[in-house]
């Protein structure tokens, strides 16, 4: 049996004269085939990356003229350049043979209007791209009564579901919008027949989707550590029009998809009024991801699987965000994932948790708002030299040392040491001294906790391997353990700092080997 080729993955993305990326010459965003974690401060253009990917991989617009009008609307308004200069392009790794790269969207044409881009169209149907506004459709637009998921189902959860009709297939959202448009016109017999056929197709597609959606949503809720929540049933009223009624009384009826939710087996009638914000966000995220995984099951092997989440975790506290990362690693390992956030703490937490190498490895970028001499703004991209925060700080420390910024080098050596200890203590659930204010948790607390934990006879082999590394770091304690060494006038010898950096790097490497 022939080996299954790897799915295409984005190598790099170029955004020119589009939304928050003004003018030409904006640096490429490099993925290298990896997943990408992006921190962007407010106003930096972070969400422009989301919109660029969402609209490049899109079958939402009905024709080429509509796609042309869209890129004209999205052209940066401050650059003074015409839409003809606006460009979104991607270069893929492992693209199908014969693909002409890069794949580009310009005013002249969208990938849907080009030849040799079938795999991009497939990706557009199966993509999972969600921002925080989309989550609102599930919970926060319902001020009273039960949550009606019909709008969220057709426009978010299952919008790209392929619906068979008339020997072909149409997206659910396109088919539904066509029904609404036709209904607004004169109800001629031929149009009535067409509307009925389309309503029947939509009804059948939704019926087939609801039970798999219920099962998959509940499975993802458990994976997100919300096992106390369970969707018991979905109910769909079915779409119809009372054609025998007077024209003024006609409407498209049955636009209702309700669900019965239980928490610890107790039925919750109005989840959006009862559940806390974290559970509401978790439920909405599980519903959306369940819909995408179901639809992705039929994607061609040559189609990229793209999951892009822009600030969708702002409704979750830090403890409830980590299960989302675990879910993405476990359930979406064959997807290329892009996480965007404006939350620096969350960015650093994700960076410390996600793997930088191997299958499902991650890269990272920081984006800041730059201001030119005329007051115009533009994104400033700073790729992470090393996604591992420990190795990243070690690299920064070495760079500062080369530039003769010894005190700054010492600071980053200390940061790397602290991060290395925190990572292993978290990974192995090492007991450490309790501090009511975690700001006062010291590296000595972490180191002592690790040494005590290693003293267990069951860990004797690991202790033998790690003790020399720990002793070497402790010998450099004047640099990496003394927090006051960086704010008081003290002489730091260059060789001492270099030895401390080497010691921290060696300890980090050995911790990864002995305590993976």
Question: Residue 316 pLDDT > 90, yes or no?
Answer: no
As a whole number, mean pLDDT of residues 258-272 equals 89
Question: Residue 1 pLDDT > 60, yes or no?
Answer: no
Q: What is the pLDDT of residues 172-221, one digit of tens each?
A: 998 999 999 999 999 999 999 999 999 999 999 999 999 999 999 999 99
What is the Cα Rg of the chain in Å?
A: 27
The Cα–Cα gap between 69 and 83 comes to: 10
Average the pLDDT over each of 3-7, 116-120, 129-133, 467-471 and give the range with the smallest value.
Answer: 3-7
Q: What is the pLDDT of residues 149-181, one digit of tens each?
A: 999 899 888 888 889 998 888 889 989 999 999
As a whole number, mean pLDDT of residues 75-86 equals 95
**Which of 101-105's residues contact partners 24+ apart within 8 Å by CB, and which partners?**
102/14, 103/56, 105/55, 105/56, 105/67, 105/71
Q: What is the pLDDT of residues 401-410, one digit of tens each?
A: 999 998 889 8
Given this model, what pLDDT does residue 3 score? 67
The Cα–Cα gap between 331 and 319 comes to: 19
In which band, very low, low, confident or very high, does the pLDDT at 484 lie, cut at 50, 70 and 90? very low
Query: In the numeric block, which tokens belong to residue 129?
Result: 């791209």
The Cα–Cα gap between 402 and 398 comes to: 6
Percent of the chain with pLDDT over 90: 59
Given this model, what pLDDT does residue 401 score? 92
Question: Residue 49 pLDDT > 90, yes or no?
Answer: yes
Spell out the SS3 assignment of 314-359.
CCCCHHHHHHHHHHHHHHCCCCEEEEEECCHHHHHHHHHHCCCCCC
Task: Report pTM.
Answer: 0.86
Number of helices followed by number of strands (H, E) in the chain: 17, 15
Given this model, what pLDDT does residue 43 score? 87
Given this model, what pLDDT does residue 276 score? 80
Question: Residue 495 pLDDT > 50, yes or no?
Answer: yes
In which band, very low, low, confident or very high, does the pLDDT at 438 lie, cut at 50, 70 and 90? confident
The residue behind tokens 């506004």 is 133
Domain annotation for the chain: domains and CATH numbers: 1-127+305-387 (3.40.50), 132-304 (1.20.1050), 389-514 (1.20.120)
Residues 415/395, Cβ–Cβ less than 8 Å: no
Q: Are strands 162-165 and 336-341 parallel, antiparallel or unpaired?
A: unpaired
Q: Distances from the Cα of 470 to the Cαs of 74, 449, 454, 460, 502, in angstroms?
A: 55, 12, 11, 15, 12
Helix (H, G, I), strand (E, B) or coil at 98: coil
Pick 448 or 5 by higher pLDDT. 448
In which band, very low, low, confident or very high, does the pLDDT at 140 lie, cut at 50, 70 and 90? low
As a whole number, mean pLDDT of residues 397-401 equals 93
């Amino acid at each position: 049996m022939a080996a299954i080729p790897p799915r295409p993955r984005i190598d790099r993305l170029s955004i020119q004269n589009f939304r928050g990326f003004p003018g030409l010459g904006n640096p490429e965003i490099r993925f290298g085939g990896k997943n990408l974690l992006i921190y962007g401060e407010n106003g930096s253009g972070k969400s422009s990356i989301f919109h660029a990917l969402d609209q490049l991989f899109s079958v939402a617009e009905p024709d080429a003229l509509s796609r042309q009008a869209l890129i004209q609307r999205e052209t940066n308004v401050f650059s003074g350049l015409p839409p003809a200069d606006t460009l979104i392009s991607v270069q893929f790794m492992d693209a199908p043979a014969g693909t002409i790269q890069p794949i580009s969207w310009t005013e002249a044409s969208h990938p849907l209007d080009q030849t040799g881009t079938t795999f991009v169209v497939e990706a557009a149907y199966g993509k999972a791209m969600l921002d925080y506004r989309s989550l609102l459709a599930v919970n926060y637009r319902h001020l009273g009564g039960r949550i009606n998921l019909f709008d969220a189902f057709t426009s978010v959860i299952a919008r790209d579901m392929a619906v068979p009709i008339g020997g072909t297939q149409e997206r659910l959202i396109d088919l539904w919008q066509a029904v609404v448009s036709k209904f607004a016109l004169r109800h001629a017999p031929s149009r009535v027949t067409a509307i009925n056929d389309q309503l029947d197709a939509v009804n059948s597609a939704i019926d087939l989707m609801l039970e798999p959606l219920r099962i998959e949503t509940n499975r993802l809720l458990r994976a997100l550590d919300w096992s106390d929540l369970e969707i018991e049933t979905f109910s769909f009223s079915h779409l119809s029009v009372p054609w025998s009624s007077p024209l003024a009384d006609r409407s498209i009826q049955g636009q209702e998809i309700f669900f019965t939710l239980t928490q610890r087996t107790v039925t919750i009638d109005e989840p959006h009024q009862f559940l806390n914000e974290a559970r509401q966000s978790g439920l909405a995220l599980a519903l959306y991801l369940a819909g995408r995984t179901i639809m992705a099951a039929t994607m061609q092997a040559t189609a990229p699987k793209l999951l892009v989440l822009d600030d969708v975790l702002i409704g979750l506290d830090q403890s409830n965000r980590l299960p989302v990362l675990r879910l993405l690693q476990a359930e979406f390992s064959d997807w290329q994932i892009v996480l965007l956030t404006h939350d620096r703490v969350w960015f650093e937490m994700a960076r410390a948790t996600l793997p930088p190498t191997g299958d499902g490895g991650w890269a990272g970028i920081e984006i800041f708002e730059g201001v030119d001499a005329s007051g115009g703004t533009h994104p400033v991209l700073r790729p992470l030299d090393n996604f591992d925060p420990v190795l990243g700080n070690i690299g920064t420390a070495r760079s500062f040392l080369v530039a003769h910024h010894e005190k700054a080098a010492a600071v980053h050596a200390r940061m790397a040491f602290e991060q290395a200890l925190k990572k292993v203590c978290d990974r192995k659930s090492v007991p450490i001294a309790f501090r009511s204010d975690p700001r006062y948790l010291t590296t000595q607390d972490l180191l002592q906790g690790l040494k005590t934990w290693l003293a267990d006879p069951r860990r004797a082999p690991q202790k033998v391997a790690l003790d020399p590394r720990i002793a070497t770091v402790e010998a450099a304690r004047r640099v990496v353990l003394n927090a006051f060494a960086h704010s008081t006038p003290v002489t730091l010898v260059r060789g001492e700092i270099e030895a401390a950096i080497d010691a921290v790097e060696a300890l980090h490497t050995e911790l990864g080997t002995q305590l993976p």
